[in-house]
Amino acid sequence: MRKIALAAVIVVAAVCLAAGCRLFNRAAQSAATDKLLELGQRAADAEEMHLHHAPGGEPRFAGRLEDLLPFDPTLADDPAVVFDFGPADDANYSITITRAGSPGKAVCDAETGCRVEMK
């Protein structure tokens, strides 16, 4: 009887350990994508500031990281983060933000805002 109880305890412990590992992995993935989304929102805010304070007096979105850095210099703090800019003009912009090792990417544009998409 003791052997059966011990085997049951071992099985239950193994199942709990496996579930805990999956839960920890999901939490880590969520934290990584949350950080990308926050970075995307900061980049979107900098795009809006650039639109309203564009050099030369003609309102337009930036479309380049270098143009956003005066509004938020921390966007360039993490060398593992890559900003991929699409076309930008006076009405729209698009940015895709990825980070090495992250399970997702942040996608931002003027029309729909920012969202996380899984790779």
Instruction: Tell me, yes or no, whether 17 lies in a domain.
Output: no
| Edge-to-edge strands, sheet with 81-85 | 81-85, 94-99, 104-109, 113-118
The pLDDT tens digits for 9-57 are 465 445 444 445 454 455 656 787 888 999 999 999 999 999 988 777 7
Its pTM stands at 0.74
Give me 19's structure tokens: 């579930």
- What is the predicted pLDDT for the residue at 9? 47
Q: Which residues contact residue 16 at a Cβ distance below 8 angstroms, ignoring those fewer than 6 apart?
A: none
- What is the predicted pLDDT for the residue at 54? 75
Q: How far is CA 109 from the centre of its chain?
A: 14
Residue 59 has pLDDT above 70, yes or no: yes
Mean pLDDT, to the nearest integer, of 80-84?
A: 95
Contact 61, 92 (CB under 8 A): yes
Q: Which residue has the tokens 């991929």?
A: 84
Count how many domains the chain has. 1
The pLDDT tens digits for 84-110 are 999 999 899 999 999 988 888 999 999
Instruction: Tell me, yes or no, whether 20 lies in a domain.
Output: no
- What is the predicted pLDDT for the residue at 26? 58
What DSSP designation does 80 have?
T
Instruction: Tell me, yes or no, whether 68 lies in a domain.
Output: yes
Instruction: Tell me, yes or no, whether 70 lies in a domain.
Output: yes
User: Which residue range(s) make up the domain with 54?
Assistant: 32-118
Half-sphere exposure of 63 (CA within 13 A, CB side): 11
